[in-house]
Structure 1
Amino acid sequence: MKFSRLVLPGITMIAATYGLARFSFGLLLPAMNESLEMSEFVSGMISSLFYLAYCFTILISTVFTTREGPRRMILSAGLSAFMGLLLMSTTPNAWVLALGVLFAGGSTGLVSPPYGAAISLWIQERQQGKANTWINSGTSLGIVLSGAGAILLTSNWRLTYFIYAILTLLILIWNYKAIPKTGTSSNLSFEKGTLSIRGVHGATTLILASLILGISTAAFWTFSRSFIEVAGEYSDWQLSAFWVVIGLFGVIGGFSGSLIEKKGLSFAYRLGSVMIATASVILASSPENWFVSYLSAGIFGSSYIFLTGVLLVWGIHVFITNASLGICIPFLLLAVGQVIGSSLAGLLIGLSGYEFSFIIFGVIGMVATFIGPKKQLVNE
C-alpha cells in the first residue's frame, strides 16, 4: 500500500481520538469547572476516567485486532470518539460529562493497536518505524486544533466540543473509505498473532518504564493550563496558545523514528524521559512568566510525542510477533500510570498547591530515566 494512503488518515484519526477527544479536556477544564461547579478533586477523578476507559478498551482492541485484523477496531474508535464528544457537548451535569469522557477515553484505547497491525500488514518493513511514529504524532495535530478552537470560541466549551464531534465524524468517514478490508472477499490476508507476555525478554522493563512515565505526565496534561491561569495574569487567548505550543512542538516527536535509527533506542528513550521530567520542573519554577510557561509547554509537547513514539517502537521490538500487543503493553501501562497520576495530582494540588505538586511529578519523571531499553535493542 502507498505510504500516504494509510498514514494520512491515520494521523487524522489519532488527532481526533487523542487530541480532540482526550487531551483537549485539560484545555477546556477551567471553563467546565466553573459551568458545572466541579472542584479540582472531582475534575481530577473525571479526568482519570479517560485513562480507565483506555485501559479497558486497549485490551479489547488488542484481542479483536489479533483475531480479526485492524479495520473494525479503527472504525469503532472513531465512532466512540464521536459519541463521547457529542455527549460532552450537551452535558447538563458532571455525571453525563463523565459518561462522555468514558466514550472519548475509550476511543484512544481502541485506535492504537489496530494501526500498529495495519502498518505491519500494509507498509513496507523499511518504512514501518517512520509510519508508526508519524501516525502517533497525530496527537499533536489534534492538540493544535483544540487550542485553535479554544482561541476562536473563547470559553464556549459546549460549542467547541460539538465542532470537534463533527470533525471526528468526517475523519471516521475518511478512514472507512481508506482502510482496506481483510477476509475471504479480499485479496488481503491477516495472520493471527500471539497474545502472551510470558517469557518475552524485555517485557518487564518496558512495563515498569511505561507505568512511571504515565504517572509523571498526568499532572501536566490535566492541570498545567489551570496552573498558569491561577499563577499569572494570562488572557484567554494566551492560555489557549499555551496548549497550541504543546501541539506545535509535538510535531517534532514525529522524528523519533529517524533518531532511533541514527542514535539507537536506548539513547532516544533517555533523552525523551529527561526532557519530559524537566518540563514539569520548569513550569513550577515560574508559571506566571509567559516565556517560561511556553518553554515548558514546548518541551513537554515535543518530548511526550517523541517518547510515546519511542515506547511504540520499543514495544513492537519486544513483541516482535504481534505488533498490536507491542503497542498495547506500553500504552496500557502508560494509561494505568496516568490513572494513578491524575487522581494523585488532584489530591496533591488540593493539599500542597501547584508548585510543589509539579516538582514532585518532575522528580517521578526523572526516576524513569534509569529504566530503559537495553543496549542490545539498539539498531537491530
Structure 2
Amino acid sequence: MNFSKLVFPGATMIAVTYGLARFSFGLLLPEINQTLNMSELVSGLISSLFYLAYCFTIILSTVITTREGPRRMILSAGLSAFIGLLFMCISSNVWVLALGVLLAGGSTGLVSPPYGAAIAFWIKEGEQGRANTWINSGTSFGIALSGLGAILLTPHWRLTYLIYATLACLIFLWNFQVIPKEETSSAQLRFKKGNLTIRGVKGSIPLSLASLTLGVSTAAFWTFSRSFIEITGDYSEWQLSGFWVIIGLFGVLGGFSGSLIERRGLRFSYTLGSLSIGSASTILAVTSENWLLSYLAAGIFGCSYIFLTGVLLVWGIRVFITNASLGIGVPFLLLAVGQVLGSIIAGWFIGTWGYIPSFTLYGLIGMVASLMGPNKN
C-alpha cells in the first residue's frame, strides 16, 4: 500500500480519537460543569472514565487485533468516537455525559494497536518507523484543533461536540474506504495471530518499566498544568487555551522521531525525549507566572511527549517483533496506568506541598526515566 494512503487517514483517526474525543474534555469542562451543575467530585469521577475506558479497550483491541487483524478495531474506534461525542453533545444529565465519556475515551484504546498491525501488514519494512510515528503525531493535530475550538466556541460546548462528532463520522467513512478487508501484505514483517505472551520476551521488562515511569512523569503536566498557570499567573481565557494549542502545535514536531531514530538510534532518541519531558515540568515549576516561558514549557512538553510515544511505539514493535499490536498495546497501556497513578499522587502532592515542589518532583521523575532506556539502538 502507498505510504500516504494509510498514514493520512490514520493520523486523522488518531487526531479525532485522542485530540477531540479525549483531550478536549478538560478545556470544555468548566462550561459543562456550569450547564449540568456538576460538583468537582462528580466532574473528577467522570474525567477518570477516560483513563479507565482506555485501559480496558487497549487490552481488548490488542487481543482482537492479534486474532482477527486490524480492520475491525480501527472501524470500531471511529464508531466509538463518533457515538461518544454525539452523546456528550446531547447530554442532559451526568449519566448521559458519563456514557459519552466512556465511549469517547474507549476509542483511544481501540485505535492504537490495530494501526501498528496495519502498518506491519501494508507498509514496506523500511518505512514502518516513519509511518508509525507520523500516525501517532495525529494526537498533536487533534490537541491543537481542540485548543482552537476552545478559543472560538468555549461557551457553546454542545456545538463544539457536534462539530467534532461530524468530523469523526467523516473520518470513520474515510478509513472504512481505505483499510483493506483482506490482510494481503507486501511488507516483510507480519505478526503471528494468537500470540499474546510477553513472558520471556527479551527487552520487555525495560520497556514496561520505562513506559510506566514516563506515564507517571507526564501526569502532572497533562492534568494540572493549565490549573497551575491559571492560579499563579495573570492569564486571559484565550491565553489559557493558547497554552493548550502550543502543546498540540509543537507536538507535530514529535512526528520526526522516526527519522531521528533512523539517524541516531533508539537509545539516543529515548534519552533525549525523557530529559526533555522532565525539563518541561521543571521549567513550568519556576516560570508559571511568565506567559512566554510557560508557553516554552508547553512547547517542549508537547514536542517531547509525542516524540516519546513515537519512540515507545518503535521500541515496542522491535521488542515484540512478531506482534505489532502487542508491541503498541503493552507500552501504551502501561503509559496510561502510570498516568492514572501519577494523577492521583500529583493531586495529593499539590494539595500538601503546592504546585511548584510537585512539578519539580515530576520533572525529576522524567529525568530518572532517561536511565531506563533500551540497551540497543
TM-score range, shorter-chain basis? over 0.9
- Tell me the TM-score normalised to structure 1 length: 0.93
Q: Alignment length, in residue pairs?
A: 374
Shift, 1:154, TM fit: 3.1
1:105: how far off? Answer: 1.4
Residue type of the partner of 2:223?
Answer: T
Q: Does 152-161 or 15-24 show the bigger shift?
A: 152-161
SS at match of 1:195: coil
In the TM superposition, what is the alpha-carbon distance from 1:232 to its structure 2 partner? 1.8
Give the corresponding residue for 1:276: 277
Structure 2 match to 1:314 = 315
User: Cα offset for 1:42?
Assistant: 4.6
Say if 1:85 and 1:139 are closer, same or farther in 2 by CA, change over 3 A.
same
Give the TM-score normalised by the residue count of structure 2.
Answer: 0.94
Q: 1:362 to 1:142 in 2, by over 3 A?
A: same
Mark the CA change 1:187 to 1:231 in structure 2 (over 3 Å): closer, same or farther: closer
Corresponding position: 1:324 with 2:307: no
The whole-number CA distance in structure 1 between the counterparts of 2:270 and 2:40 is 32
- Find the counterpart in structure 1 of residue 30 from structure 2: 30
Whole-Å separation in 2 of the counterparts to 1:226 and 1:37:
20
Asked whether the 8 Å contact 1:62–1:113 carries over to 2, the reply is: yes
Paired amino acid for 1:344: I
Deviations 1:233-278 (A, max 9, x none): 2222211111111111001100000111111111111110111111
Q: Secondary structure of 1:198's partner? A: coil
1:13 aligned partner: 13
1:68 matched residue in structure 2: 68
Question: Which letter maps to 1:218?
Answer: A
1:80 is matched with: 80
1:44 and 1:343 in contact (8 A); partners too: no
Letter in 2 for 1:91: S
CA RMSD of aligned residues (A): 2.0
Deviation larger for 319-328 or 98-107: 98-107
| SS in structure 1 at match of 2:372 | coil
Deviates further, 45-54 or 363-372:
45-54
Q: Which amino acid aligns with 1:100?
A: G
Q: Classify the secondary structure of the residue corresponding to 1:205.
A: helix
**Which residue number in structure 2 is paired with residue 208 of structure 1?**
209
Residue 82 of structure 1 deviates from its aligned partner by 1.3
Residues 285-304 of structure 1: pairs in structure 2 closer than 5 A: 285-304=286-305
Q: Which amino acid aligns with 1:332?
A: L
Does the 8 A contact of 1:81 with 1:165 survive in 2?
Answer: yes
Name the CA distance, whole Å, in 1 between partners of 2:202 and 2:45. Answer: 35
| Corresponding residue of 2:114 | 114
Are the equivalent residues in 1 in contact too, given 2:121–2:185 (CA < 8 A)?
no
For 2:179, the equivalent position in structure 1 comes to 179
Cα 1:191–1:149 change in 2 (3 A) is: same
> Which SS does the other structure have where 1:369 is aligned?
helix
**Does structure 2 conserve the Cα–Cα contact (< 8 Å) formed by 1:41 and 1:350?**
no
Per mean C-alpha deviation after superposition, the further-off stretch among 230-239 and 188-197 is: 188-197
Query: Following superposition of structure 1 onto structure 2, how do residues 137-286 of structure 1 map, counting pairs within 5 Å?
Result: 137-182=137-182, 192=193, 194-286=195-287
Task: Give the CA deviation at 1:343.
Answer: 2.5
Offset at 1:199? 0.6
Which residue identity is paired with 1:357?
Answer: S
CA distance in 2 between counterparts of 1:30 and 1:223 reads: 14
Deviation at 1:88, TM superposition (A): 2.0
Instruction: Using the TM superposition, name which of 217-226 and 240-249 deviates more.
Output: 217-226
Inter-CA distance 19–269: structure 2 relative to 1 (3 Å threshold): same
Per the alignment, in what secondary structure is the counterpart of residue 371 of structure 2?
coil
Structure 2 unmatched runs, 5+: none
| Cα distance in structure 2, aligned partners of 1:373 and 1:295 | 28
> For the residues of structure 2 that align with 1:272 and 1:190, how far apart are their CA atoms?
28
> CA separation in 2, counterparts of 1:294 and 1:256?
22
The SS at the match of 1:370 is helix
How far apart are 1:155 and its partner, in Å? 3.1
> In structure 2, how many angstroms separate the alpha carbons of the residues matched to 1:72 and 1:265?
31
Q: Distance in 2 between matches of 1:26 and 1:367?
A: 28
Alpha carbons 2:120, 2:191 under 8 Å: kept: no
Q: In 1, distance between residues paired with 2:292 and 2:191?
A: 50
Shift of 1:191: 5.4
Would the aligned equivalents of 2:192 and 2:322 in 1 still touch at CA under 8 Å? no
Percent identity for Structure 1 against Structure 2: 72
Closer, same or farther: CA 151–206 of 1 in aligned 2, 3 Å: same
Report if the CA contact (8 A) 2:86-2:161 is conserved. yes
1:33 Cα offset (Å)? 4.0
- Report what 2:345 is aligned to: 344
Structure 1 regions of 5+ residues with no counterpart?
none
SS of equivalent residue, structure 2 residue 28: helix
Most deviating of 309-318 and 271-280: 271-280
Provide, for residues 321-359 of structure 1, a one-character-per-residue CA deviation record: whole Å limited to 9, x for no partner: 000000000001001111112233334334443333322
Amino acid at match of 1:84: G
1:133-187 superposed Cα distances (whole Å, 9 cap, x missing partner) = 000000011011111111111332222222111111111111111111027xx89
Contact map agreement 2:274 2:366 (CA 8 A) in 1? yes
Question: Which residue identity lines up with residue 273 of structure 1 in the other structure?
Answer: S
Contact 2:285–2:357 (8 Å) recurs in 1: yes
For residue 26 of structure 1, what is the amino acid of its counterpart? G
Equivalent position of 1:366 in the other structure: 367
**Given residue 52 of structure 2, which amino acid in structure 1 is its aligned partner?**
L
